[in-house]
Structures are given as structure tokens and as C-alpha cells.
Amino acid sequence: MNLTYIILAVLAGGVLWAIVAYNSFIKLINRTKEAWSDIDVQLKRRYDLIPNLMETVKGYAKHESSVFTEVTEARAKATQVHIDPSNITPAQIAAMSGAESALSQSLGKLLAVAEAYPDVKANQNFLSLQAELSDTENKIQAARRFYNGNVRDLNIAVESFPSNLIAKMFNFMKQEFFEVEEDTQREPVKVSF
């Protein structure tokens, strides 16, 4: 009779552990989705600021049309990349990361053009938009760190024993980090006059 209780206790403990592990995965996945949603909100804010910033600079730097075209095209490509938070794939992360890298590079060129025109730098609207863009960039970086931290926690749980048994049983998969794609993105923007 004592052996029966021991076996039942072990089975109950195993079932309880499986439930806790499963719920932990659900929590990690939902945190990762929430973190991606934070990135998405900040990227939308950035996309909305860019046309206003460009219009302000355009008024002063009419002959810099190639930079405006490049920013417009990069923004269009970045806004076309859609990621479904419930099914984030490595290909989607790579596409978003590449589009964001191209947009960041073109924005750097736009700001470099603006720096070359003292009237633009003194324009209150430009200064306000530039401050908002800078704030948005900081929020995007914070959202990326939050997302990557949640992806790290999920990936550790997927790979660690014994939680990897539950991950395999319920098909919980590792997620991709949202990182800078190109080495040139790690370098500061060079401004030359």
C-alpha cells in the first residue's frame, strides 16, 4: 500500500511538473508576442514621423532629391514587411531586420543632408521632429532589447532539460533574435561637408 502511494505521488508530481512547464512556455510565448507588438508600435510611429521630417528638409534642400527618394523607397519597403506575432518565423525577422537596416541608413543620410543646411537646423519644426525621431529610435532599441530578452528566455527553456521534453511534445520552437543585419549599421553615420 505504501508503494502505491509513492507511485501515485510520483505520477502526480510528474503531471504537476508538466502542467507548470507547459504554462511557463505559454507565458514566454505571450511575452515574446507582446514584445514584438511593442516593436511594431514604435516602428509605426517612426514611419509616421519620416514624411514630416522629409517635408521639412525638402523645403531647404530641393536639389538633394536622391536622398529623399532613397528614404521614401526604404520606408515603403519597411512598411510592407508584415509579421504576424502569433507565428514569427526566421525569414520574417530577417526581412524586417534588412528593411529596418536600409531605412536607418537612409535616415542617417537625410539627417546628414539636414546638417549641411543651417536654416534647416534652426527650423523649430525640424528640431521638434528630429527630437521625436531620436526618442522613437531610443524606444525602438528598448523594444528590441525587451523582445530579444524574451526570445532568449524562450530559447533557453526550449533547449534546457527537462523543459525541452515539454517543448518537443507540444512543438514549442526557438525564436529568432531581432538584430542588426549589416556590419555597417553598427558604425556611426559619417557626416562630411
Does the structure show a pLDDT above 80 at 29?
yes
Angle at 45 between CA 185 and CA 126, to 5 degrees: 80
CA distance 155 to 81: 24
Q: Within 10 A of 184 (CB to CB), how many other CB atoms are there?
A: 10
Which triple of cell numbers denotes residue 17? Answer: 511538473
Helices and strands (H and E) in the chain: how many: 6, 0
pLDDT score recorded for residue 154 = 93
* Domains of the chain with bracketed CATH: 24-186 (1.20.1440.20)
pLDDT score recorded for residue 27 = 94
Least confident of 9-18, 83-92, 145-154: 83-92
Please state, for a pLDDT cut of 90, what percent of the chain lies above it: 26
Is the backbone of residue 104 left (phi > 0), alpha (psi -120 to 50) or beta? alpha
Q: Within 10 A of 23 (CB to CB), how many other CB atoms are there?
A: 11
pLDDT score recorded for residue 184 = 47
Does the structure show a pLDDT above 60 at 189?
no
Maximum average pLDDT range among 92-96, 120-124, 159-163, 181-185: 159-163
- Please indicate whether residue 109 or residue 166 has the higher confidence score (pLDDT): 166
What integer best gives the mean pLDDT of the chain? 82
27-37 residues labelled b (16+ CB within 10 A) or e (exposed): ebbebbbebbe
Please state, for a pLDDT cut of 70, what percent of the chain lies above it: 88
Q: Tens of pLDDT along 32-59? A: 989 988 888 888 888 888 888 888 777 7
DSSP 59: T
pLDDT score recorded for residue 74 = 85
CA distance 193 to 175: 43
Q: How confident is the model at residue 121 (pLDDT cuts 50, 70, 90)?
A: low
**Rounded mean pLDDT, 102-116:** 81
Q: What is the largest CA-CA distance in the chain?
A: 91
**Rounded mean pLDDT, 56-73:** 75
Does the structure show a pLDDT above 50 at 141?
yes
